């Protein structure tokens, strides 16, 4: 018999200047003194958002006004299993107060995981927060040509794109390698990371900031984590089975779709937003929505639980 799972709504309170709110657990509770994100158990009949609003009012004295679902993550403690419904909170009325004798601390997202005595279940979301909301996939060998791509990439970087995937399956020449290095230099100059798609030679993976695995390549790992110490790992997914594989290999994030029709894959089956939302709740990892996405669809995608959006043309125009 498996232990019952306790559902918990968790608020990830974010500010415009890149800070997240943490509180320490009060005396008398398990893990007293350890830092965590605010939230609490769902009461019978409550939705996640209803529970989140109630908990933030009881715990911090604030009224929730703007929140979106994010990642649903199962964490197993020695005596308890919890299903944590992480929600990004960007709007509230009032100033967070210590209503339960806890200390509160606004922490920079960039350094939040370095905080001593951080509750184990708080590590994953604080790490995920470092992922940007837009994931650009390269098209350097497309009809636009690599010179035009590099020009547009500079513009995209200046507009805040911080994560790029190098995916050029039809191009594997010394010229391609030179352009790859130029793209990497451009990314690093703007504080962005460049991942390489697993369609490319494995010998090149260590030259990038991580690897993006095609679904079939992730499956070949047979549940073993990718041996890329300190680098990002993303996985393309389309269904529950592929999401389970991504979790098993300890990926940092997934790309899930296609959500909507795209010009590059006319007639291909699509998930639609309802199925994306359902699968996202099972992912256990941040999910970028792909397929028919653009900067204009980012807010919609996030309202459906996406971490952000991924795409080619409409993220670089």
Give me the percent of the chain exceeding a pLDDT of 90.
75
- Which architecture, in CATH terms, is 134-315? Alpha-Beta Barrel (3.20)
pLDDT at 204: 87
**Residue range(s) occupied by CATH 3.20.20.70 in the chain:** 134-315
pLDDT of residue 143: 65
Other C-beta atoms within 10 Å of 168: how many? 22
Q: Are 288 and 258 in contact (CB under 8 A)?
A: no
Distance CA 117, CA 96 (A): 21
- The predicted pLDDT at position 227 comes to 79
pLDDT 10s digits, 230-243: 899 999 999 999 99
Residue 1 in this model has a pLDDT that exceeds 60: no
Those residues whose C-beta lies under 8 Å from the C-beta of residue 278, and which sit 6 or more positions away, are none
Q: Please give the average per-residue pLDDT across 251-271, as a whole number.
A: 89
pLDDT, tens digit, 9 for 90 and up, residues 62-77: 999 999 999 999 999 8
Q: Indicate if the pLDDT at residue 58 is higher than 60.
A: yes
Tokens 């709504």 belong to which residue? Answer: 9
Structure tokens at 255: 């790309």
CATH architecture group of domain 5-127: Alpha-Beta Complex (3.90)
CA atoms within a 13 Å half-sphere pointing along the CA-CB vector of 148: 9
Give the single-character DSSP code of 204: G
Does the pLDDT value for residue 316 go beyond 70?
no
pLDDT in tens, 8-50: 999 999 999 999 999 999 888 888 899 999 999 999 999 999 9
The pTM for the full model equals 0.95
For residue 120, which of 171, 184, 74 has the smallest C-alpha distance? 74
Confidence of residue 171 (pLDDT cuts 50, 70, 90): confident
Average pLDDT, the chain: 93
Length of the chain: 317
CATH 3.90.79.10 domain locations along the chain? 5-127
């Amino acid at each position: 018999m498996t232990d019952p799972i306790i559902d918990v709504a968790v608020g990830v309170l974010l500010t415009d200047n890149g800070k997240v709110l943490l509180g320490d657990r009060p005396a008398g509770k398990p893990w007293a003194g350890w830092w965590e994100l605010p939230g609490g158990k769902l009461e019978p009949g409550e939705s996640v958002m209803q529970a989140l609003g109630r908990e933030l009012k009881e715990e911090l004295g604030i009224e929730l006004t703007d929140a979106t679902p994010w990642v649903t993550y199962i964490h197993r403690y020695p005596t308890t299993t919890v299903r944590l419904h992480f929600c990004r909170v960007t709007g509230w009325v009032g100033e967070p107060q210590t209503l339960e004798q806890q200390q509160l601390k606004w922490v920079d997202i960039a350094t939040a995981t370095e905080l001593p005595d951080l509750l184990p279940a708080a590590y994953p979301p604080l790490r995920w927060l470092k992922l940007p909301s837009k994931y650009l996939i390269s098209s350097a060998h497309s009809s636009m040509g690599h010179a035009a791509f590099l020009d547009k990439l500079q513009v995209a970087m200046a507009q805040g794109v911080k994560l790029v995937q190098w995916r050029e399956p039809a191009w594997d020449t010394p010229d391609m390698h030179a352009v790859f290095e130029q793209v990497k230099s451009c990314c690093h100059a703007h504080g962005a990371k460049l991942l390489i798609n697993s369609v490319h030679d494995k010998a090149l993976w260590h030259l990038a900031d991580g690897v993006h695995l095609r679904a079939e390549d992730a499956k070949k790992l047979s549940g073993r984590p990718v041996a890329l110490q300190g680098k990002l790992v993303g996985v393309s997914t389309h269904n529950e089975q592929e999401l389970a594989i991504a979790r098993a290999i300890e990926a940092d994030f997934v790309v899930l779709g296609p959500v909507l029709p795209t010009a590059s894959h006319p007639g291909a089956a699509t998930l639609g937003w309802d199925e994306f939302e359902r699968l996202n709740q099972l992912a256990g990892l941040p999910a970028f929505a792909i397929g028919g996405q653009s900067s204009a669809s980012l807010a919609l995608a996030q309202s459906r639980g996406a971490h952000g959006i991924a795409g080619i043309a409409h993220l670089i125009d």
